[in-house]
Amino acid sequence: MSRAEIDESHAQFRGAWRLFALGTPAGEVVERPEVFLTAGHVSWSLMNMAFLQKPVETEAELERAVDLAARYFTQGPHGWSFTLTQDWLAPSLRERADAVLATRGLKPGMTTTGMVAEKLLAPVRPLPKLDLRPVSDEWSRNAIADVNAACYDMPQPLGREALAAPGIYGPECRAFVGSHDGVPASTTAAMRVDGIAYIALVATLAEHRRQGAAEAVMRHALEEAKRAWGLERTVLHATPAGAPVYRRMGYRDVTTFCSYFAPSHGA
């Protein structure tokens, strides 16, 4: 990894969540020198996310960034999250980060690996045949929301509130639902972020896993991104379950992120 790729991974995360926030009816993005706020103003706290704007050297800098985010999000009723990579923290601060965020009510809840690929490798096995449908109408928007909500153990209404808004699937997004016999099985969205194809919303229902469904939909989304935008370099942030699949496809690790979560106001 290089510092440039670590910075790129962070910028891609922020940029994708910016598109999510601005695609929701009440969403907004707030940029401060210390913190970047992407607020979908929805019940799913993952979609109300704060990020650092730059690496921090001191505990006071981290506290100020987290306090600014907390001041913003606690004005509303929803939970929220703060995502950072330890590669943006001074070595002396890394062991203290959990404690600093805990004093603000934030608990570590999700770890992801920032990954990048200049070009995908060929598939190592035949991919399943799926009905691949672009996310362009109410059925497909609900399908991509429902599959992702199920994979994150979220209630369907919260998934649809956060991810079924038409504004998310505009000209900067190429999203697809892969189905078997008309039943949604797997999803992927490719989003154009700063001249890179960012991969998001990769999710597969439990009964369709380990069959190559996620890879099939994802490769199709990236093919469409290349056709539409001429982009081949691609970035994503992988859960532990997804990372081995992406490595087989040609992605390599860049840095690790942790998302810390705060409860909804009054919880």
Q: What is the pLDDT of residues 223-242, one digit of tens each?
A: 999 999 999 999 999 999 99
pLDDT value, residue 247:
97
Q: How many domains, the chain?
A: 2
Residue 267 predicted with pLDDT over 50: no
User: How many C-beta neighbours within 10 Å does residue 173 have?
Assistant: 23
Whether 151 and 179 map to the same domain: the answer is: yes
pLDDT of res. 73: 96
Element (H, E) at 159: helix 156-163
Q: How confident is the model at residue 265 (pLDDT cuts 50, 70, 90)?
A: low
For residue 168, the enclosing domain spans 131-232
Q: Environment class of residue 181 by beta-carbon count within 10 Å: exposed (0-12), middle (13-18) or buried (19+)?
A: exposed
Do residue 85 and residue 160 come from a single domain?
no
Output the pLDDT for position 264.
Answer: 74
For residue 158, being part of any structural domain is answered with yes
Residues 24 and 107 in one domain: yes
Can you tell me the distance from the alpha carbon of 125 to that of 157, in angstroms, rounded to the nearest whole number?
Answer: 36
- 263 falls in which pLDDT band (50, 70, 90)? confident
Chain CA centroid to CA 144, Å: 14
